Structure 1
Amino acid sequence: MSLLTQNKNIAEEKESNELFPIFLKLQNFRTLLVGAGNVGLEKLEAMLFNSPKANVTVLGERVLPQLKELIKNYPTVELFERKFKEEDLKGVELVVLATDDRDLHRYIRGIAKERGLLVNVADTPELCDFYLGSIVKKGNLKIAISTNGKSPTVAKRIKQVINDSLPDEIDDTLDQMSKLRDTLKGDFAYKVKKMNEATASLVEEPKQSKQIISSTALSWVIWTIVVAFATITFFALWNQEPAFKAYIEQVNPHFYYFLAAGFVFAMIDGAIGMSYGVTSTTFSLSMGIPPASASTAVHISEILSNGIAGWMHFRMGNINKKLFKLLIIPGVIGAVSGAYLLSSLEHYSQYTKPIVSVYTLILGLVILRKAFNVNKVISADKKIKKIGVLGFTGGFIDAVGGGGWGSIVLSSLIAGGRNARYSLGTVKLSRFFIALMSSLTFVTMLSGLHWYAVAGLVIGSAIASPIAARVSNKISAKTIMVAVGVIVILVSSRSIINFILLLLSN
């Protein structure tokens, strides 16, 4: 039975989607958009996101400021703030109607159909000749989704699923396949065979044995590094901190405060994917720990948790290898530079402490702002490009301020259009190396480490790590982010005010 016959039989049994999908080069057409309100803005954004050089004429009696701002970057878009006139259809090939006046829509559509024009009418499928479907865009790959006008909301949800499932590297695959196709010689059948062989791995099930071996190898590397670092830290504390030996006989009461803090902050980090560094540093500063020692305690405690998290993300395939390579070297350089600078200024902690408090105050405001934009969808056409600069800046500020790698790097990647799942996994894995190198720098340069703070945060965060994911799923991320932002702002402000009062008293 032919495919055409099968489709005919299916259509007789049940209503089906009979739309024929095509991809238009909108720069070769003249499109008229009637309506410059919220719906008109949405339609225009969809057209320009997919075809930045589209020739569009926009008509609207009331024009949103956002639409005016949008078209400033698109010279092929014209805007007229007035009512529709019949002569506006002259020379037009596509018509999109996006006002709240249905009678006007029917009037314009009637004229357009007399002239043989194709029309799309917002929220009125029966009047449409074509639909503006949801689009998944990954570089040169573009997937259009249609529900036959039944539910645009479902189409958007499917778009999110596909967008999250496709890695950013798919565009690299397309480039490689294009280069391969250009090198192939022979007839059409031979080229098809070779292209099928090259793409077979995209649909094959991954070999479990290789994945297990790769994951096991990475886990052994991480654990070996952790053990080696723990050994170096132990001997450094043993030789440089006399109080470390006394800990065997008497535990500093502040240890328990840091133990509880490490647990709570790790739980928060598990819920929203960031803020462990800034909350731990803010708490440490409020407990009288100098900035360099506070940053040391935070980074040492992050090594184990981020090593485990990074390994798990690697096993789940959530690592963007290209992004990881671009982040890791600049990030490590920035982290070591920041740790070296802060350690060199440890004797001036009374001055560096308020500076770090200002930084944590700013991060608190950033977290609070993000809490109220947690569901905001960021357009993927603004993907961040300067990954190396972002990595260096994030590593440097993270070491100096005791935190910020997640808040700065992860937030910037996601806000810049990067895939959230792959960004989170990549940032977590790279965070292990950032924390490791900055901690090594701190340990080798500082002689008066506050070991009770280090031990408390390490043990507390380690206890929280296995249960953070389960518990965090039951708590609203927005609620946690608001609470964290407020607490960080209040504690940081207190430190700044105390410094100002100290200056005034002198």
Structure 2
Amino acid sequence: MDLSAFPLEALLPFIAIGFAAQLVDGALGMAFGVISNTLLISMGVPPAAASAGVHAAESFTTAASGISHIAHRNVDWRLFGRLVIPGVAGGILGAYVLTRISAEAARPIVLAYLTAIGLYLLWRGIKVPSVEKRPKFVAPLGLVGGFLDAAGGGWGAVVTSNLLAQGGSPRKVVGTVNTAEFFLAVTISATFIATLGLGAFTTATVGLLIGGIAAAPLGALVAKRVPARPLLILVGVVLTITSIYGVIRALV
């Protein structure tokens, strides 16, 4: 790859987007794709090109994020084992099914559900004392989250929010979901990268990569240091805002 094709002045806006998106995703377990896609499209990047760039970048940013969460001991390995295999299976199934049918009709329903979960987490974080419990509904959640991620995003929003709603430790849930996402991102992106090769690495993709990898250690540190209740409230706020925005975009 010829790095001279990516001048610094052209990369800087995309580095900033990647840094901001990964900081939120690494700390809260969701929203890299939503934030990156939204900002790239607002800058005039075509939707298809924005989606391709984000997926290619995620294969690398999720690796950096997972390593950072492991280093900060944010990963529940028992939960990880129950989540990653169904998640990868759901991603493969989603990628296969979506080559034959469109899942767009279901997106407003899923996003409306996530809005309700976001409001519930926000209410729980403000009103209800934190009582941590080990989540029981895990494997089916990983399967659904992987499938929806292949449909255009949703792993972090679906899996993180539902595990938190079941009473999971915010720090451990965020770290585990982020680490498992690496395997999901590689699975879903494998065909895309193999087909496009280095052509997948546009200026936007390289910028997202640099910014995302730089922010990964900071996101994991935030997840480790912020107390459970504020972290739960932040997840609720981000999930509610991004889901409502997605509903509006899907319906307009």
TM-score by length of 1: 0.40
Task: Measure, in 1, the Cα distance between the counterparts of 2:81 and 2:57.
Answer: 24
Equivalent position to 2:194, from 444, 452, 473: 444
1:12-31 residue pairs with structure 2 within 5 A?
A: none
Q: Which residue of 1 aligns with 2:57?
A: 301
Q: Which residue of 2 aligns with 1:416?
A: 166
Amino acid at match of 2:248: S
Letter in 2 for 1:297: G
- 1:435 pairs, out of 175, 179, 185, with 185
Counterpart residue number, 2:121: 370
CA distance in structure 1 between the aligned counterparts of 2:8 and 2:115, rounded to whole angstroms: 30
Q: Is 1:489 equivalent to 2:244 in the alignment?
A: yes
Structure-to-structure mapping, 1:447-486, within 5 angstroms: 449=200, 451-468=202-219, 477=231, 478=233, 482=237, 485-486=240-241
Partner of 1:104: none
Query: In 1, Cα distance between the equivalents of 2:79 and 2:184?
Result: 15
Deviation for aligned residue 1:272: 2.6
Q: Deviation per CA, 1:425-455, whole angstroms, max 9, x where unpaired?
A: 3322211111121121332356985723322
CA-to-aligned-CA distance 1:369-415 (integer Å, 9 cap, x gap): 5334324357667x65443222111111112122x222222222232
CA contact (8 A) 1:264 1:464 kept: yes
CA deviation after TM superposition for structure 1 residue 496, in Å? 3.7
CA contact (8 A) 2:65 2:217 kept: no
- The answer for the alignment partner of 1:263 in structure 2 is 19
Q: Which residue of 2 aligns with 1:401?
A: 152
User: Percentage identity across aligned positions?
Assistant: 32
Residues 111, 247 of structure 2: 8 Å contact kept? yes
Q: 2:29 aligns with which of 266, 270, 273?
A: 273
Q: Deviations over 1:159-211 (max 9, x none)?
A: xxxxxxxxxxxxxxxxxxxxxxxxxxxxxxxxxxxxxxxxxxxxxxxxxxxxx
| Aligned equivalents of 2:60, 2:220: Cα separation in 1 | 16
> Counterpart of 2:95?
339
Contact 1:278 1:401 in 2 (8 A): no
CA distance in 2, matches of 1:266, 1:296: 17
- Letter matched to residue 436 of structure 1: V
Query: Equivalents in 2 of 1:415, 1:421: separation in Å?
Result: 14
TM-score by length of 2: 0.71
SS at match of 1:373: helix
Q: Measured at CA, do residues 362 and 276 of structure 1 come closer, stay the same or move farther in structure 2, by a change above 3 Å?
A: farther
Q: Secondary structure at the match of 2:30?
A: coil
Instruction: Note closer, same or farther for the CA distance 1:249–1:425 as it changes in structure 2 (3 Å cut).
Output: closer
Structure with the greater alpha carbon radius of gyration: 1
Whole-Å Cα distance in 2 between the matches of residues 254 and 488 of structure 1? 30
The one-letter amino acid of 1:424's match is V
Distance 1:334 1:305, change over 3 A: same
- Name the structure, 1 or 2, with higher relative contact order (CA <8 Å, separation 6+): 2
Q: Distance in 2 between matches of 1:359 and 1:281?
A: 18
Cα separation, 2, equivalents of 1:355 and 1:252: 40
